Structure 1
Amino acid sequence: MATVEKRTTKDGKTTRWRVKWREGGGRDGDWDGETFDYQADAKRFKALVDAAGNRRPAPAQLVEHGFAHLAPAPATTPVDEPAPMTFREYALAWLDTLTKPHVETKRKYRERLEKHVFPVLGDKPITDITLRMMREWQTGLLEAGLSRKTIANIRGESVYPIFRAACRRGEDGEPPVRSYNPLEGLALPDGVKYERDILETPEDAALFLTAAYEVDPEAADLILAALATGLRWGEVAALTAEAVRLHLGTVEVRQVLRKVNRRWVVEPKPKTKKGYRSVPVHPMVMEMLKRRAAAGTKFLFVAPHGNHWRYEDFYDWRWVKIRMLAESRGLRGHITMHGLRHSLLTLLANEGLELAGLTHLAGHAQVSTTMDVYVHATTSHHEPVRRIVGGFLEASIRAGEEQRASGVTRAGEIRGRVHRATRQTAAAGKTGPGR
């Protein structure tokens, strides 16, 4: 049978009541008990223990008689924790939220992720990706043959924004997924940074165009238009007769060719507002465009099958032959189609064309893009450097000849100044204070 014991603290100020019993009532049972602040509660609990056969009352009885705090916590069914969100899942969800980029830009982002990022990082929880992982990922791309420029593009356009978004609060105030961006402060992998080869001088351009017209006059007209206007491949290859404004001496960029799902398709408008622009054309080039516009073809420059050129076909069937011929005749560098655009913008910058005009011609939104990416250093400054250095060398030679003619050398003049200063210091010491 359970008993109730009165207990007083050492200071004699507090009295408590403890219910004690042996489990099952036998002498061999283990002692059990509960302590209460009030004697009435202890007596009620003792009655429950006695009714239960000197055992702890069932949880339902404890709750029923006001002792719910003594009842064991109900067993809970374990709930499976949701699997952590992978980088792939977060990246695709992020892409879906983008509204500003052109649909083709979003397609390019996803294509880069599928090809260069997901195979390494896609199945890893986005919360577990570290700076070391990102550094190893970059190094792997470099070892796979990608250039530092390509890696920078993948990083800056497709990966960095994903981690930046993961470090922000959600649209409904959810806490950030990550506490830091693992690309923040991570340098690009070491590697040789090559500058794009361009046609640095009018003579280089003339040599290349001559080779083009010898290989294929039809293809050469397209190359001439690209070099003379600075248009991108997708812009020059999509030119139509309606784009030629004879009375203004310009061509208008109204539509572009863009590669979508491995097919070149005509987009009815450029990707950005800056893409809509009028580009001035030299009268000789305008005569060529006028002639082609009068031919009545769908595009100004057509492939042998009658439709617009596909870049891959033009490159393999025409460009490589033209470049090889030009290089055999002394052309420096390994020019690409996009290098023609860089060439014109660089030559115009060296001629002092104002930045606003240069940026408008390029169709860029920012001057920094034009100047930092498209305008290259050339050898045009070599002669001014030689001329300036030669000028002060000639002046120095003339000064030396005049000194020798007067019998006074620079060294002798310096020694004389030192000697005079020494004598003046010695004289001042003899007459100074304390003497």
Structure 2
Amino acid sequence: MASIEERISKAGTKSWRVAWREGGTRSGTRDGETCYDRRTAKRFKGLVEANGDRRPEGYPKGCHGMGTGERPAPQAEPTDSAPAVPTLTAVVEAYLAQNMKADARQIADYRRLYVNHVQAAIVTLPDGRRVGPLGGLPVDELDGDTIQAWVNWMRGRTYAYRGQKRHYSPKTIHNVHGAVIAPALAYALRKGLITADPCADVQLPQKPARTVSLDQVPTGEEIQQWIAIAYKASLLAGDIVSIAMGTGLRWAEITALRPCDIDLERRLLTVAGAIKEDDKSRRLYRAEYGKSATALRTIRIPASLIMVFARRTRGLDRKALIFRGARGGILSSSSWSHIHWKKVMKLAQEQATVETDPTLHKFRHAHATSLLAANVSLDTVSKRLGHKSITVTSNLYSHLSPEADQRAVDVVDQVMTGKPQTA
């Protein structure tokens, strides 16, 4: 961490020395910069820390922080009466500290998003000026142009994936903006640190429309056939496919289930967490939160799954995972794909009795489409799936229910003609 040391010359002039070691390590090379007012020193310190305890880009030695580079006369020394405006990093930390809706692990995820994608960003404004790192800027210097420039910067970034470069998806940009930038700046607005919301008119990239096609979603008799094939592959495969179909849970929710989440007497299942992966270590862990606030939910268990859960939970500690990997740890998606699902697909090809070519997630879709085909309300389906809003459910599945559309047409015909429609 950088430090600020106040100094007084023989002539009585004050200065503030910002000092740090490169990379923030004890063995890092010493560096420093002298500033001639405290506000500049604090601001420059924020830039250094936002850049990973390194000299910020565009600030060579002798730049005197961000001042004019000239030592002011003693009588021009500014006063310290005005409080310093906090940096974006300080505001984000303050926002995260008061966020009572998220647990410690989720706060850590938000902080990781900020550090990886915002804190050290140096962006180009419409007039060609480059500003940043954003984490070190006083929060009142951030405006709509700055946030829009960050969006454009993110769209141009790439990351390595299996030896290839990929651009960050619109979904990632939405996630970082919606989970960290926008709520932190809204917090700054509530606290009176800024006078307007810089995110108000920001244009985020359009996310591809998400709809589900029936081509790869099992329906009707194929559902029973796929479950039978899965049980031939392995008991674990059969149980997981059955649960995915019977509850509509996501993979991360199924593998996070514990006996304490299952109430067999009342036939209730509580989604109380999900399996996540740490971006840096790639380690799997069970988080006490889901994909969204509505992902944590309690739903009814169909009678056909009671025996499955009774067998899976028998003799287990209440907080042990129901599904575990070969070594007793968390069951990873790669183990599932290579050991279990691969066998399921091979048996399906050998039997040649099914036409669809699904993934496990398609059984979540099969759960939803089966309910909609039986005239279960969209609101009920949305709550069972744990969608963020009913709009998400409608966009994904409403086109797969032609019966509902036909009923709508019948109502319109009746209004226009005055004649009741016959079945």
* Normalised TM-score (structure 1): 0.55
Q: 2:243 aligns with which of 225, 229, 233?
A: 225
Residue 276 of structure 1: how far off its partner (Å): 5.2
Give the direction of change, closer, same or farther, for the CA distance of 1:192–1:180 in structure 2 (3 Å limit).
Answer: same
Distance 1:369 1:324 in 2: 37
Secondary structure at the residue paired with 2:120? helix
Residue 295 of structure 1: how far off its partner (Å): 6.6
Pair 1:381 & 2:402 matched? yes
* C-alpha contact (below 8 Å) 2:272/2:296 kept by paired residues: no
Pair 1:119 & 2:144 matched? no
Distance 1:123 1:292 in 2: 52
* C-alpha contact (below 8 Å) 2:144/2:198 kept by paired residues: yes
2:255 matched residue in structure 1: 237
Secondary structure at the residue paired with 1:259? strand
Q: 1:151 aligns with which of 167, 173, 197?
A: 173
Residue 184 of structure 1: how far off its partner (Å): 0.9
Write the letter of the residue equivalent to 1:92.
Answer: E
2:270 matched residue in structure 1: 253
Give the direction of change, closer, same or farther, for the CA distance of 1:208–1:147 in structure 2 (3 Å limit).
Answer: farther
1:90 matched residue in structure 2: 91
Residue 100 of structure 1: how far off its partner (Å): 3.1
Distance 1:233 1:326 in 2: 21
Give the direction of change, closer, same or farther, for the CA distance of 1:166–1:331 in structure 2 (3 Å limit).
Answer: same
Pair 1:300 & 2:322 matched? yes
Residue 324 of structure 1: how far off its partner (Å): 8.7
Write the letter of the residue equivalent to 1:146.
Answer: Y
Write the letter of the residue equivalent to 1:290.
Answer: A
* C-alpha contact (below 8 Å) 1:104/1:260 kept by paired residues: no
What percent of counterpart residues are identical?
20
* C-alpha contact (below 8 Å) 2:378/2:390 kept by paired residues: no
Name the stretch that deviates more: 220-229 or 188-197: 188-197
Write the letter of the residue equivalent to 1:239.
Answer: L
Give the direction of change, closer, same or farther, for the CA distance of 1:157–1:267 in structure 2 (3 Å limit).
Answer: closer
Higher relative contact order structure (alpha carbons within 8 Å, sequence separation ≥ 6): 2
Q: How does 1:7-406 map to 2 (within 5 A)?
A: 76=75, 78-79=77-78, 85-120=86-121, 121-143=134-156, 144=158, 145-168=167-190, 170=191, 176-190=192-206, 192-195=208-211, 200-203=217-220, 205=223, 209=227, 212-213=230-231, 215-241=233-259, 243-248=261-266, 250-253=267-270, 255-259=272-276, 263-266=283-286, 275=296, 277-283=298-304, 285-294=305-314, 298-311=320-333, 313-315=335-337, 317-319=339-341, 330-331=355-356, 335=359, 337=361, 340-355=363-378, 357-363=380-386, 368=390, 371-372=393-394, 375-381=396-402
* C-alpha contact (below 8 Å) 1:148/1:193 kept by paired residues: no
* Normalised TM-score (structure 2): 0.57
Write the letter of the residue equivalent to 2:219.
Answer: P
Write the letter of the residue equivalent to 1:291.
Answer: R
Residue 186 of structure 1: how far off its partner (Å): 2.1
Distance 2:195 2:178 in 1: 19
Distance 1:264 1:187 in 2: 34
Secondary structure at the residue paired with 1:358? helix
* C-alpha contact (below 8 Å) 2:258/2:322 kept by paired residues: yes
Secondary structure at the residue paired with 1:132? helix
For structure 2, the residue ranges without an aligned partner over 5 or more in a row are: 1-73, 122-133, 159-166, 414-423
Secondary structure at the residue paired with 1:122? helix
Give the direction of change, closer, same or farther, for the CA distance of 1:196–1:289 in structure 2 (3 Å limit).
Answer: same
* C-alpha contact (below 8 Å) 1:251/1:281 kept by paired residues: no
Residue 380 of structure 1: how far off its partner (Å): 4.3
Distance 1:112 1:147 in 2: 14
Distance 1:190 1:266 in 2: 31
Residue 125 of structure 1: how far off its partner (Å): 3.3
Residue 160 of structure 1: how far off its partner (Å): 0.9
